[in-house]
Amino acid sequence: MIQITKKMHKGNWQIFLLFDYNADIVETIKKMEGVHYSNTHKAWYLPYSKPAWHAFLKTGLSYQISEFGTTGPNTPLSENTETNQADVPSRCNHEAADKKELNIRYKHPYLLITGKLTVEEIAKLKSLPKTYWNVRYQNWVVEAKVNHLEFLHQELNFISQNQFEVWKTQIAAVENPPKCMLYKSPEYPDQILLQLSGTGVDVDFVKYIPERKYHSDKKFWVLPYDDKLIERIIDHYTALKTMVINKIQPGNAKAKTVNYKELREYLLHKTPEVLLPFATDYLNVLMRERYSNNTIKEYHGKFMKFAKAMLPKTCDAITEAEVNDYIAKISQEKVSESLINTTINAIKFYYEKVIYLPDFKIERIKRPRKAMLLPKVLSVEEVDRMLRATENLKHTTLLYALYGHGLRLNEVLHLRLEDILWDRNQLYIKAGKGKKDRYITMSQEFKLMLSTYAHEYKPQHWLFEGQDQVSQYSERSVQEVVKQAAQKAKINKRVTPHTLRHCYATHLVDAGTQLPYIKELLGHKDIKTTMIYTHITTASIEKVISPLDMLKRKNENYEKPQ
């Protein structure tokens, strides 16, 4: 049976004949006057006119008008059969559109409108975003969205109620597809969280899982942690063609570190050939003693620069006097005391740990006089402005972590979900500076922020992940977050992540916290390092009265009222 439909083709309405291939039908249709074949639509078609429709009826072929479901006769009509324009099949979507010869099709991701529109209707249609007139196909193109469909149905009355309901379901499924997301949160360390969203997502399945609990505020389910249950959930929603995002497994989450083998090859490749024997022994000892990558790179660079300056003499034949001369020479340049001390440490390491030179008097290498430099800190009000100026939830949580716990940059980047001890109100800092572990009290404000952050960003392994949601957040990104927060808070001084660590310690001292506790919280090796904050605090200094103020008060007491 032939399906009859009406389509706009080559700028005019045509009667399209749709059927499974049949040689007899094709031969019959070919004999009709004005019949053509469309490669675009892969179908035969006739002009949309009374004579053409009469010619088709005379063939006696069985047909069905697909839009209205009307079955035509199987026998030829007589020549005097009367017909009118209404006998010609129409594909309009409703009665009002029939008068205008209006045709609307849904072809993802667009709604295509063909036919005559009034000036008022065109103006309303153009009010929809991204709507345009396609000159080539002579139709209006509207982005297929539910709100656009509702506008065409309610405001312009272009679509029938039945067609509206059908297309609304189809478009909503594309616009907001069903999703099933499994993830973890430090708030529920021994459970899994399930979040269902999208049009038509199956919620009933979860309701039959024992011990489940629904949180309506953040719209997620809390389920017992069970590998078999996770597998069941994934299989069920995959079978329903629901998008499944499993963030329970950390995958290949790795710290951004370079392994020793790669680092060794990289540094030796940069070393001049004449210095390779010294560099090889030097790197072997550094790596055997498990120094950090940064320390290895710093020591190697400083020592190779020293060894190159000593050529043609070898490092084994150099005296402490020559080392002192080298230190004096680089000290004349514009370099920091920190760089000079690192150079001395790198040279000492070679003679102490690599070649064990007995005649080399290490203690005779003179260090620069140590300056008493105090760290720069912000006031409590300035820190508060920084925290309030940041609107991004991830950035705010990061600032809370830095300032609320006095963490080093590397420590905050290495925080994992399992390091959040929710019930104990603690953070576990694994392998901090000097490879020392420690526990610190978790800020209650950070804890509240973390609950929201975990459900919004759903980290897998690292608490702060990069854009790929697998690797760690980069050091540069953290530095930029702090810098931009300070700029938004209109703080003109230079602020770094370590500045917030200094602020944490100083503000604790101001609040009366004892130094031994602060030492443990900061992970300092020596109390002397912590004592530097006693030089910054204003807690005791504020009580000191200037002699000038005392003199003024004394004079005021002598001025008796008359």
Residue 363 CB neighbour total at 10 angstroms: 7
DSSP output for 49-65: SHHHHHHHHHTT--EEE
Alpha carbons within 13 A on the beta-carbon side of 199: 11
The Cα 449–Cα 420 span in angstroms is 13
Distance CA 223, CA 243 (A): 19
- Say if residues 201 and 242 touch (Cβ distance below 8 Å): yes
- Nearest-angstrom CA–CA distance, 490 and 467: 28
Looking at residue 252, its pLDDT comes to 47
Look at residue 502 in the predicted model and tell me its pLDDT: 93
Calpha distance 101→124 (Å, rounded): 19
What is the rounded distance in angstroms from the CA atom of residue 272 to the CA atom of residue 266?
12
Asked if 155 and 124 count as a contact pair (C-beta separation under 8 A), the reply is yes
Mean pLDDT split into 10-residue runs, the chain, 562 residues: 82 84 86 86 87 87 63 38 40 40 86 89 90 89 91 88 87 87 91 90 91 90 92 92 83 56 88 89 90 89 91 84 86 83 89 78 66 78 93 95 93 93 92 83 93 92 87 92 95 93 91 89 87 74 67 66 53
Q: What are phi and psi of 214, to 5 degrees?
A: -105, 135
Q: Can you tell me the distance from the alpha carbon of 151 to that of 174, in angstroms, rounded to the nearest whole number?
A: 18
Tell me what percent of the chain is helix, strand and coil, each rounded to the nearest 5. 45, 15, 40
**All residues at 6 or more sequence positions from 347 whose CB lies less than 8 Å from its CB, including other chains:** 302, 303, 306, 323, 365
Please give the pLDDT value at position 538: 67
- For residues 186-222, b (16+ Cβ closer than 10 Å) or e, as one string? bbbeebbbbbbeebebeeeebeeeeeeeeeeeeebbb
pLDDT score of 99: 40
Other Cβ atoms within 10 Å of 286 Cβ, number = 26
Handedness of CA 137, 139, 140, 141 (dihedral sign): negative
Predicted confidence at residue 89, as pLDDT, reads 45
**What confidence score (pLDDT) does residue 235 get?**
93
Phi, psi of 180 (to 5 degrees): -130, 115
From residue 509, give the alpha-carbon distance in Å to each of 121, 254, 417: 71, 37, 30
Burial of 332 (0-12, 13-18, 19+ CB in 10 A): exposed
Token pair for 297: 């790179």
> Helix or strand or coil: residue 405?
helix
